[in-house]
Amino acid sequence: MAETTTTAPVAAEALSLVPKAEGRQSMKEFKSDQEVRWCPGCGDYAVLAAVQGFLPSLGLARENIVFVSGIGCSSRFPYYMNTYGMHSIHGRAPAIATGLATSRRDLSVWVVTGDGDALSIGGNHLIHALRRNVNLKILLFNNRIYGLTKGQYSPTSETGKITKSTPMGSLDAPFNPVSLALGAEASFVARTVDSDRKHLTEVLRQAAEHPGTALVEIYQNCNIFNDGAFEVLKDREQAEEAVIRLEHGQPIRFGADGAKGVVRDRDTGDLRVVAVTPQNEAEVLVHDAGAATPTTAFALSRLADPDTLHHTPIGVFRSVERPVYDTLMADQVDAAVERHGKGDLSALLSGNDTWTVVG
């Protein structure tokens, strides 16, 4: 199978208002002078390197890039980027970034968040950013555990997980972030893995160019509190059977020599995995990230077994264009000026009913 996903039809409108850099940029320019303080072996290092490595390819003026984060291990990310950045408060990064992106369309605004930050304390802001389709790129580092508070279960932890706060096993059913995002009307949803630099980079590139909110779930290993959570997707032998790489316009096949494929069940309409045979080969679903409805993307997001992670699709589930909130907001400002003229403070303050007192 090909190493990278192909591109669904996207416009570069997302970046058209962002000033371009003069000359070539290097990865080094995007590293801040701050010492990186994640635990040795943390998956965050790989994501940081991928982001620092891929940003020069966008060719955007570095001063017009902003990283906004919440609270958690991953939320230290902005400190390590030599761009503008804000390390805010728990769960609120999408709200803060919304204000920034809607008031400054010349910026490329990125949100860095984790499974606790985005899906627990900040769940409300996440879904509303997605439904509004604000021009934000949200990197959701999912390690299925609370790391910074030292190992409690998170909203993506598997049910029954034994942690410090759940010695008898957690009771909560987990969120599936991709399903959640699709249900929240997201126009771009992708999943990738911290250790697959090439795949990660390609997904980031597509996200960056997407007009509107792009949610990228990054499976990220916490080697201290939840080590090996995604091992089945990383181990070469196991991954072949476990990982389904989604490529726009390509049949959804995986396994050794593409022996398995995803087909639609004629009776239920749901998706299932089959062994591909000459007889059923034509029935194998062709991935369409730009499908009019998110129905099939949602079905794909439910393919994986939440316990074993077998049949986990990665890549771009959905990438469609729909009106972008900040563009609409700017259009209203322009329309108001066109309709009523540029604001006249004197006329506004006077209103229509005045009287004059003369000396």
Is there binding between residue 23 and another protein (CB under 8 A)? no
Choosing from 9, 41, 63, 198, the residue that interacts with another protein (CB under 8 A) is 63
Task: Give kind and range of the element (H or E) at residue 94.
Answer: helix 93-103
CB 38 within 8 A of CB 143: no
Is there binding between residue 184 and another protein (CB under 8 A)? no
Choosing from 268, 279, 293, 354, the residue that interacts with another protein (CB under 8 A) is 354
67 vs 225, which CB is nearer to another protein? Answer: 67
DSSP code per residue over 60-118: B-GGGEEEEE-SSSGGGGGGGBSSEEEE--TT-HHHHHHHHHHH-TTSEEEEEEEHHII
Choosing from 25, 31, 62, 302, the residue that interacts with another protein (CB under 8 A) is 62
Residues 301-320 that bind another protein (CB under 8 A): none
Contacts of 341 (CB under 8 A, 6+ apart): none
Residues 75-114 that bind another protein (CB under 8 A): 78-79, 81-89, 92, 95-104, 106-107
CB of 82 to another protein, least distance (A): 6
DSSP state of 79: G
Number of residues counted as binding another protein (CB under 8 A) = 62
Is there binding between residue 250 and another protein (CB under 8 A)? no
30 vs 230, which CB is nearer to another protein? Answer: 30
Is there binding between residue 14 and another protein (CB under 8 A)? no
75 vs 163, which CB is nearer to another protein? Answer: 75
Contacts of 359 (CB under 8 A, 6+ apart): none
Distance CA 293, CA 291 (A): 6
Structure tokens at 103: 């008031």
In 3D space, the residue among 203, 238, 229 whose CA is nearest the CA of residue 318 turns out to be: 203
CB 110 within 8 A of CB 136: yes
Distance CA 78, CA 175 (A): 26
Is there binding between residue 124 and another protein (CB under 8 A)? yes
Is there binding between residue 26 and another protein (CB under 8 A)? no
Structure tokens at 320: 């469609």
CB of 9 to another protein, least distance (A): 30
CB of 225 to another protein, least distance (A): 21
Distance CA 115, CA 74 (A): 10
Is there binding between residue 34 and another protein (CB under 8 A)? yes
Choosing from 66, 180, 189, 276, the residue that interacts with another protein (CB under 8 A) is 66
Residue ranges of E strands in 178-304? 188-193, 214-219, 243-245, 253-254, 260-264, 271-275
Is there binding between residue 31 and another protein (CB under 8 A)? no
Structure tokens at 153: 């279960």
Contact region with another protein (CB under 8 A), list: 47-55, 269-277, 285-293, 335-343: 335-343
Choosing from 23, 40, 278, 343, the residue that interacts with another protein (CB under 8 A) is 343
Structure tokens at 4: 């990278």
Structure tokens at 13: 């409108």
CB count, 10 Å around CB of 252?
24
Binding site residues, another protein, CB under 8 A: 19, 32, 34, 61-66, 68, 78-79, 81-89, 92, 95-104, 106-107, 124-125, 128, 329, 332-333, 335-337, 339-343, 345-346, 348-359
